[in-house]
Structure 1
Amino acid sequence: MVYILALVFLLGCCSCAKERRVADGPWPVEEFSDGDLVFRRGIGLMSRAVLVADGSGMYSHVGILKKVEEEWHVIHAVPGEPDYEGDVDRVKVEPLVRFWATDRAVRGAVMRMEVDSQLAAGAAVQAWQMAQRGTLFDHDYDLADTTAMYCTELVDFVYRKVGVDVSEGRLSRVNVPGVGGDYLLPSDLADNRQLKPVFEFSR
């Protein structure tokens, strides 16, 4: 039962820790840009389940970077990380230091699509607007339904809105008890050869 529950959360790309501590630093924030992809390798059973399914992947979750009031934030779709009692699973905006907090990440990276910076910034704006609209988390993991989003779906969707194909049509086949089908996993985005590392860390 625990295994099946972990896999149900697998495509949620989340970590379940509640305590929030500031992550290591400093980071080369002056090198970051709106629209950069932000990856993390999470902690715990659910993140391990993602990595098992995403056999070639190093990361279990992804979001998109945007500077808000002079501080870098990550826009991402995540379940199980409420900001307050009664908070719903949704697309949310949170500071990078929280996204990479030591209780949430053992590895992280910022990667940049080698496209016009205005297109990348436009993708970040699209993601911001989805967060402001309160777009819900896609618990059905249905790429055909764009009214709700899971983590990789969000990143791929907002880049497609500005004419950039990050996933290049890649999907991963997941075929385990309790979960089966084709899903968009973090490595399906990271394998894009136009995606170049800006910064990486591991603990």
Structure 2
Amino acid sequence: MLIAKKYCAKKNGVLLFLVLILLLLFSYLKFYQRITVKNIIHFKNLHNGDIVLRCGRSTESFTVYLVDDNSEFTHIGIISLENDIPYVIHSVPSKTNFIQKEKLSIFLNSKNASKFAIYRSNFNEVHLDKVVKTANSYYLNKYVFDPKYDLTTNTKLYCTELVLKAFNAVGSPLKVKPKELNYIIGKHSIIFPSEFTKLPFFTRII
């Protein structure tokens, strides 16, 4: 009798494991099969301080997709116009981990993104120029990506933290809600990209 119970428990454990694997596989296929962004993208009428969101293709992006049940997007950055060329200032894990600034066409290349959107706030042009200048200072001062997702460190920033602090630094506090996640190693309060799409003064333009 005892042997039979142990056998049933083991069998149920194997079945549960297989179900979890199938759910993960289904989620990954759904995540990966999003609409592919074209390699060459031409944008007009973009403004300094617009924010761009993408659904990335990396392992980190898939993790965000799994954890955030509201996730349409997994990464975010601030648009900086330089000689009418749109760049994106953003924070992402990399070899150096420095804050990055790259052309929008690279940020949204199909190797990096499967879906995207651009949002615009109702702050005035002078104010948004200051936001971009602040974000650019993070890049120039070689701030780095924060793998611990700690909102109290100001020279280590993750993607949503960079956007939040660039706006907050020039007097336009964004009231975004962190989501508390429980890990084996402890708890973390993380702000997900989807929170920015809920703010009333941001409008989706693309």
Q: Which amino acid aligns with 1:194?
A: F
Alignment match, 1:197: 204
Q: Deviation string for 1:15-65 (max 9, x for gaps)?
A: xxxxxxx944443x2221000011100114321210111111211000000
Q: Report the number of matched residues.
A: 170
Q: Which amino acid aligns with 2:90?
A: H
Q: Which runs of 5+ in 2 are unaligned?
A: 1-36
> Residue 77 of structure 1: which of 91, 106, 110 is its match?
91
Higher-Rg member (1/2): 2
Alignment match, 1:60: 74
Alignment match, 1:172: 179
8 Å CA contact 1:32–1:198 kept in 2: the answer is: no
The root-mean-square deviation of aligned C-alpha atoms, in Å, is: 1.8
How far residue 176 of structure 1 moved from its aligned partner, in angstroms, is: 4.4
How far residue 95 of structure 1 moved from its aligned partner, in angstroms, is: 0.4
After TM superposition, the structure 1 stretch with the greater mean CA deviation from structure 2, 42-51 or 64-73, is 42-51
1:186 aligns with 2:200: no
Query: What is the CA–CA distance in structure 2 between the aligned matches of 1:63 and 1:115, rounded to whole Å?
Result: 17
1:123 aligns with 2:137: no
Question: Which consecutive aligned stretches of 4+ in structure 1 deviate over 6 angstroms post-superposition?
Answer: none
After TM superposition, the structure 1 stretch with the greater mean CA deviation from structure 2, 177-186 or 134-143, is 177-186
Alignment match, 1:4: none
8 Å CA contact 1:74–1:96 kept in 2: the answer is: yes
Alignment match, 1:108: 116
8 Å CA contact 2:52–2:77 kept in 1: the answer is: yes
Query: What is the CA–CA distance in structure 1 between the aligned matches of 2:151 and 2:60, rounded to whole Å?
Result: 21
> Residue 92 of structure 1: which of 100, 120, 123 is its match?
100
Structure with the larger helix share? 2
**Cα separation, partners in 2 of 1:179 and 1:46, compared to 1, 3 Å:** farther
SS of aligned partner of 2:203 = strand
8 Å CA contact 1:37–1:62 kept in 2: the answer is: yes
SS of aligned partner of 1:106 = strand
**Cα separation, partners in 2 of 1:123 and 1:178, compared to 1, 3 Å:** same
How far residue 182 of structure 1 moved from its aligned partner, in angstroms, is: 1.1
Q: Deviation string for 1:89-113 (max 9, x for gaps)?
A: 0111100011001011010111011
Q: Which structure's relative contact order is higher, taking Cα pairs within 8 Å and 6+ residues apart?
A: 1
Q: Taking structure 2 as the reference length, what is the TM-score of the superposition?
A: 0.77
Q: Deviation string for 1:169-189 (max 9, x for gaps)?
A: 411122244563211111122
**Cα separation, partners in 2 of 1:198 and 1:169, compared to 1, 3 Å:** closer
Q: Taking structure 1 as the reference length, what is the TM-score of the superposition?
A: 0.78
Q: Which amino acid aligns with 1:63?
A: G
1:163 aligns with 2:171: yes
SS of aligned partner of 2:204 = strand
SS of aligned partner of 1:31 = coil
